[in-house]
Structure 1
Amino acid sequence: MKEFKIADNAAGQRLDRFLGKILPEADTAFLHRMLRKKNITRNDKKAEGSERLAAGDVIRVWLSDETYQKFSGTARREQRFPLWDGIWDSIVFENDCLLALNKPVGMLTQKAAPSDVSVNEYMLGYLAAKGEYVPERPGEFKPGVVNRLDRNTSGLVLAAKSLAVAQALSEQLREKQLRKFYLACVNGEVREAMRLSAFLYKDKTGNRVCIRETRQSAEDREIQTAFRPLAVRDNLSLLEVELLTGRSHQIRAQLAAIGHPIIGDPKYGNRAENSRFMQRYGLKHQLLHAYRLRFPTETAALATLSEKTISAAPPKLFSELFPEVN
């Protein structure tokens, strides 16, 4: 018999979802059959599987050791997550519910392939080293990043430490309550603040998007972006950009569409300017940085973050190009 006590950070999930985590090799039919036969119980009572678990609930699994090992995938769970020496310097905020990291250029936010190592794996390695996450303890909430940045965009990535926080953050992002600000170094002189509205179409085969003034197909998605200039010099502008909607490549494509592409952007940028920056600075990526997040008023899972602003310093080249802006 195996016994699992539900921790605070795992509360709120359905029982069948929890069982899927501790017995990932078992199919749904097997799990429901075990529930019907009371081979799996919740607080020593028969359960259906749809119940929401509360902190302190006790789940007992009455299976032979051989059967449990077969369905639990024990060997797979014993993996260790890598440690990244730079993660301590990248942490800009941490409390009991949230970890905020300043992602460097060139690092994935989440895996794109099984062999990838991303911010998510480094974050798990950090929490495991602190003893806040134990990979071998099945069924508990697995911390994870909740927002994504392109590989070659630097800046703030948030990781939730509990299920309730992950759900709350996901809702804030979905409802556009969490305000997201970026720094963008663009071609040309931008002297006035603007709010842009357009439609974005994504070409999935080429991993590119195009911007349209009017909706031309059912797949077009409305986008809105606001920006204001912070500094202008040498036919360059540093913009503070607020992402009002969140679509793939939105900032990069929309700024390019109005004639102010981001410096270093290989997809939407100005090739001549990109080449000049490559020769002078060795620049191989777009100068776009997610530098500030502002939380709305909160009273529930994110109460400790209510109306809080988190910021992350941009890469050094931003201050080299615009020393007057801190």
Structure 2
Amino acid sequence: MLEIIYQDEWLVAVNKPSGWLVHRSWLDRDEKVVVMQTVRDQIGQHVYTAHRLDRPTSGVLLMGLSSEAGRRLAQQFEQHQIQKRYHAIVRGWLTEAAVLDYPLIEELDKIADKFARENREAQPAVTRYRGLATTEMPVATGRYPTTRYSLVELEPETGRKHQLRRHLAHLRHPIIGDSKHGDLRQNRSAAEHFGCQRLMLHASQLTLAHPFTGEPLVLRAGLDPVWMDALTHFGWRTLLPDNERVEFPSETDQDNADG
């Protein structure tokens, strides 16, 4: 079962585990365990997506319980009326707080986007970021005798595909575990020594006005064991007080989730 963060008669929000697809996709046509179907079976009613999280990203995923609710939420996302906050562990020391305005050319997947028309014109992409903590670990990576990491808070103001991964790579602080835009040598080292065997990117919080009542909503998602172990290794456990450890479904639970 998935952790339900919030539910009322119009909306449901869950804490998506890393490695789960939001819905069935060309990326993996044989994948039987997807968030939408699992939530549908769990709460006994259909759900409608309003935004997406990449498969390796964990955190808050908000859905409507009717097509109208999904439409209203999607409109809020499209009009940038919903504040998104992420946390990431990145390579090197990133200490400043700044806004990165760096347009991105659309990035298509060979499988998932094989029917999409490629657009080579760069699209506006803006990310606010803030370094929260740094550490230097006594582990050699490449020609360096130690390895540096940073904990970073991110607030994307636009929603381009892989925006946070690409923006941090542009800053030369790629996210640990990013196999496409990251540092493969650093990824292997972090996985071997600190258990970071996934993309270390977590959608921590969504802040919005309820699309039906207008009431303010702040939806927070707790961290999985991989994240908690990494924070312990790096001495950062107290830096994310709003996030508590969450027990995510085991492989057996996932195997059974589809009935």
Report if TM-score (shorter chain) is over 0.5: yes
C-alpha separation between the residues in 2 aligned to 1:152 and 1:292?
Answer: 17
Note the C-alpha offset of 1:115: 4.0
1:309 aligns with 2:194: no
Q: TM-score, normalised by structure 2?
A: 0.77
* Other-structure match for 1:121: 37
Q: Is the 8 A contact 1:101 1:156 kept in 2?
A: yes
The structure with higher relative contact order (CA 8 Å, sep 6+) is 2
Query: Is the alpha carbon distance of 1:218 and 1:262 closer, same or farther for their aligned partners in structure 2, counting shifts above 3 Å?
Result: closer
Query: Is the alpha carbon distance of 1:205 and 1:175 closer, same or farther for their aligned partners in structure 2, counting shifts above 3 Å?
Result: closer
**Unaligned stretches of 5+ residues in structure 1:** 1-85, 134-141, 208-216
Q: Is the 8 A contact 2:125 2:157 kept in 1?
A: yes
**Unaligned stretches of 5+ residues in structure 2:** 112-118, 137-147, 242-259
Note the C-alpha offset of 1:205: 5.5
* Other-structure match for 2:66: 162
5 Å matches for 1:40-55? Answer: none
Deviation track 1:35-65 (CA, whole Å, cap 9, x = no partner) reads xxxxxxxxxxxxxxxxxxxxxxxxxxxxxxx
C-alpha separation between the residues in 1 aligned to 2:131 and 2:154?
Answer: 9
C-alpha separation between the residues in 1 aligned to 2:158 and 2:68?
Answer: 24
1:201 aligns with 2:105: yes
* Structure 2 letter corresponding to 1:232: T
Deviation track 1:77-129 (CA, whole Å, cap 9, x = no partner) reads xxxxxxxxx32xx111111111110001110011104543310000110122x
* Other-structure match for 1:185: 89
Deviation track 1:165-188 (CA, whole Å, cap 9, x = no partner) reads 212101101101011110011111
Q: Is the 8 A contact 1:190 1:237 kept in 2?
A: yes
C-alpha separation between the residues in 2 aligned to 1:205 and 1:161?
Answer: 29
* Other-structure match for 2:143: none
1:174 aligns with 2:78: yes
**The residue matched to 2:100 in structure 1 has which SS?**
strand
* Other-structure match for 1:269: 182
C-alpha separation between the residues in 2 aligned to 1:219 and 1:144?
Answer: 30
* Other-structure match for 2:54: 150
* Other-structure match for 1:290: 203
Q: TM-score, normalised by structure 1?
A: 0.62
Count residues in correspondence.
214
Q: Is the 8 A contact 2:107 2:161 kept in 1?
A: no
**The residue matched to 1:303 in structure 2 has which SS?**
coil
C-alpha separation between the residues in 1 aligned to 2:42 and 2:202?
Answer: 23
C-alpha separation between the residues in 1 aligned to 2:91 and 2:110?
Answer: 24
Note the C-alpha offset of 1:285: 1.9
* Other-structure match for 2:237: 323
C-alpha separation between the residues in 1 aligned to 2:109 and 2:49?
Answer: 26
C-alpha separation between the residues in 1 aligned to 2:187 and 2:169?
Answer: 13
Note the C-alpha offset of 1:206: 5.3
* Other-structure match for 1:231: 133
What is the identity percentage for the equivalent residue pairs of Structure 1 and Structure 2?
29
**CA RMSD, aligned part only?**
1.9
Note the C-alpha offset of 1:203: 4.2
